[in-house]
Chains A and B, each alone.
Chain A
Amino acid sequence: MKPLVALPDLNPPPDPVTEQLTQAFTSQEERLARIEPGWLVALRKAGIARFADVGLPTLRDEDWRFTNLAPLQEHRFQPTLGRPTPDLPAEALDGLALGDLPGDRLVFVDGHHSPALSHIASHGPGVVVEPFSLAMARNADAIRITLGQHADLTKSPFVALNQACFSDGAFVRIPRGHRLDQPVHLLFVSTGRDPGIAIHPRNLLLLERDAGATIVEHYLSLADAPTLTNAVTEIVAGENARMEHIRLQDESKTSFHFGFVRLQQAANSNVAAHCISLGARLFRHEYDPSLDGPGAECVLNGLYLAKGRQLADHHMVVDHAQPNCASHEYFNGILADQSRGVFHGRILIRPGAQKTDAKQTNKNLLLSNEARANSKPQLEIYADDVKCTHGATVGQLDPEAVFYLRARGIPEETARRMLVHSFAGEITHRIQHNGLREALDEIVWDWLESLEAVQIGRRDGSGTHSVAHPH
């Protein structure tokens, strides 16, 4: 066949962000090959190959329809991999939220472990709470066979990018039958000293059969700077394991944050994953849970608070592959000013996943005329004996509830605040660990109280009011 006239280029050149990050990685390849084991270098290369291939998603991508990543192009992001560990005096963390939490703390500063700021208690045999940078020497085999085996790099370009560029993160392993008494606090500090750095934390949390733990991932900025955080966490919960996982994201209002949590659950395991997000200019948080054994249960419970021009995006596909499992997703968003909330949740019930009990709700409270909410709660069901419901609401405070409170003597602004607090409380009250729930309640409370009266909003749609009457 004769060649036709020049075909249009079906593979447009990669966007500048993809190109920049790919080049930044490639420039380190040689160095990495010298200092890292071959399997790890191969893992990284697979990650960057995938990332370079697919590039950053665009609005044409159904899964990214409402989240425009164009603002990333305003910066030339450099991964922190291979950079020196920044020094941070202990005082820098004074007065930090969750600072008085008992238990282990692992601190990572701009993506690198800081031994000085971390403290780990001595645990029973088999318990590992360590940064990768140290665990690599002692637990190389365990890491080699699990790392990158659970978070599927085809699920998101950001997973692929993280697999290539991750610098450090937590490796936690709780052996069979062991329950940790105290929560583990994983603190990821972004100093903001180098605007434009791209921090790639990577966590691997393994709970063996009958094990239990409470683990907090905490992301925080010390200064207002356009940094990028792209975190991936792999959680594997063995048979009958119990885990409470909390993700608190409070980065600066100029930063970008991408978080991906892979949850793999064996039979009768129970994972409650909470995420409270109030920071970042643009953030996207994905859960990727698989209920792989009968009787597994998972709760995904999220609260997003946004104001100014923040964009909060949550995305999850809950995969039910086995019978008698339960999953419940509750996501509430409070959107003030010109902020935007995006929610995409899908419950997938595969053939044979009978007696599934799945529920999903997404509620959005719009506090201003310019706030926007987009919600796509979806069900995809291939088994008949299941209980599945979902619901979504978008709206303002219930005027009847406001009136009821006012009719009891409570001033309007207070009434509105009470209702906003209770809307947020629906989520925070599901946190089981008392100390954490109280601490997070306080953070949420402070955020809500920081809203000014005008942001709490008063809207008379009808424009009629009984106070106005002729004389």
Chain B
Amino acid sequence: MSDPILDIRDLRAGVEGRDILQGISLTIQPGEVHAIMGPNGSGKSTLASVLAGRDGYEVRGGSVNFLGQDLLELAPEERARDGLFLAFQYPVEIPGVNSTYFLKAALNEQRKHRGLTPVDAMEFLTLVRDKIKLLELNEDLLKRPVNAGFSGGEKKRNEIFQMAVLEPRLAVLDETDSGLDIDALRVVANGVNRLKSADNAQLVITHYQRLLDYIVPDFVHVLMNGRIVRSGGKELALELEERGYDWIARETQAATQS
């Protein structure tokens, strides 16, 4: 077996003195798609934030290895350049920063980091024109400021478009389905699927099974109270859809009490 892309061991973390992640372990191999599901407040978005290095999250213990290095030692931008991509649950509006300028800067930072020459404006335009079609986005978007005035669906598609340009090794999709109608969901999922390869991996964080109809995971993990309480194949997602989260909670409680 090849080296894993991501290896999380007993990760414990919190925010503002509250413990949220209570010891999470998870290994993701190249070519795999993992889904993390869980009720509200279970720690799903905290996991995404800790992986991307958001300020204010305190890691209390455990380790995260990303492509052979200690992820937690790296600044957010270093993680991004090494190939970790977070599709934000709430993409940030940055009025006044032009989308093209922003994305070209991001891509060239990554290329510089990998010892490649920066792309020039023409090369960049050719590249993005290909990618933007994938997400059925209007090219006008490139002239507008980052996410400013975008609809909810446009913002989410824009996240996946950026992912297509930056070609990460690991994409963490944080509730990418929230706020999307079914057509937009299909477009987003289609984009994500087209970007899948034997070389990269995806971690899909979601509350609902709906997204997993389109992005079919190899593994499904259920997160509750900051722990992964159950892991299984894609059929686990269907079971959750049918029975909700309560039964797992009860079974988990029973298991810990006995």
Contacts and interface: CB of A to CB of B under 8 A. Distances in A.
Interface string B207-251: 000000000000000000000000000000000000000000000
B162 interface: yes
B70 to A, nearest CB: 9
A409 B74 CA distance: 12
Given A409-B81, A423-B96, A469 B109 contact: no
A144 B59 CA distance: 76
A403 B162 CA distance: 16
Contacts, number: 110
B108 to A, nearest CB: 9
Contact of A418 (B54, B56, B80, B102): B102
Contacts of A470: 59-61
Given A467-B53, A468-B58, 16 more contacts: A403-B55, A404-B91, A407-B53, A407-B80, A407-B85, A409-B80, A409-B113, A418-B105, A423-B96, A464-B58, A466-B49, A466-B50, A466-B58, A467-B73, A467-B75, A468-B59
Contacts of A86: none
Contact of B55 (A401, A409, A425, A465): A465
Interface string A436-471: 000000000000000000000000101011111110
A194 interface: no
Contacts of B94: 401, 404-405, 419, 422
A69 interface: no
What are the nearest 9 A-B pairs in CB distance? A422-B96, A469-B59, A409-B80, A408-B106, A406-B76, A404-B92, A406-B77, A409-B109, A409-B81
A44 B72 CA distance: 72
A463 to B, nearest CB: 9
B95 A426 contact: yes
A414 interface: yes
Size category of the binding interface on chain A:
20 to 34
A470 to B, nearest CB: 6
A468 B56 CA distance: 11
Contacts of B80: 406-410
B206 interface: no
B54 A403 contact: yes
Contacts of A422: 94-97, 145
Nearest to A469: B59
A123 B254 CA distance: 93
Interface residues of B, number: 42
A462 B15 CA distance: 11
Given A407-B86, A408-B102, A460-B55, A467 B72 contact: yes
B91 to A, nearest CB: 7
A311 B94 CA distance: 28
B132 interface: no
Nearest to B86: A407
Contact of B102 (A400, A405, A460, A464): A405
Contacts of B102: 405, 408, 418
16 contacts: A399-B55, A403-B92, A404-B91, A406-B53, A407-B53, A408-B80, A408-B166, A409-B106, A410-B106, A423-B96, A426-B96, A460-B55, A466-B56, A467-B53, A467-B73, A470-B61
B110 interface: yes
Contacts of A406: 53, 75-77, 80
B150 interface: no
Given A406-B76, A407-B86, A412-B77, A466 B96 contact: no
A392 B91 CA distance: 24
Contacts of A404: 88, 91-92, 94
A407 B59 contact: no
A468 B109 CA distance: 24
B57 interface: yes
Contacts of A352: none
